[in-house]
Amino acid sequence: MDLIVEYFSEMRTSHRSLLLVGGLTLFFLIENVFPFFRHDYNKWKHSGMNLFFTLTTVLVNFSMAFLLVASTLWVTDNEFGLINWLNVPIWAQVIFGLMLMDLLGAYLAHWVQHNVKWMWKFHIVHHTD
């Protein structure tokens, strides 16, 4: 188990990219061989549009990753943030940190995209498929 954790924590970017592309390809093929629903539209045109949105998302995420790394290093070096105020064991810090990241980074952002009119116009693409 330690080897698996070590591999994924130190995974090279090329391996991550291969895992992403391989996973998308695998599930695309499974979905086409064993479809859950039959649709009356051109699946290849639809898939091309989804691929476009996936690639733009990947480009934005890769280009903004430096902000995440830089801010994480700064927070760690300066012992800044809510978790550093808590005098709890590391396992509790991990659980609290994950819950906080999920609330602020996923749920709250998704809620805002649903409730702010101009953001909804971009976000609706995520719900049209």
Whole-structure pTM value? 0.49
- H or E element: which one contains 41? none
Give the pLDDT confidence of 5-44 residue by residue, as tens digits.
888 888 888 898 899 889 989 998 998 888 888 878 887 8
DSSP states of 85-112 as a string?
H----HHHHHHHHHHHHIIIIIIIHHHH
Residue 57 and residue 20 in contact, taking contact as beta carbons nearer than 8 Å: no
Helix, strand, or coil (residue 36): coil
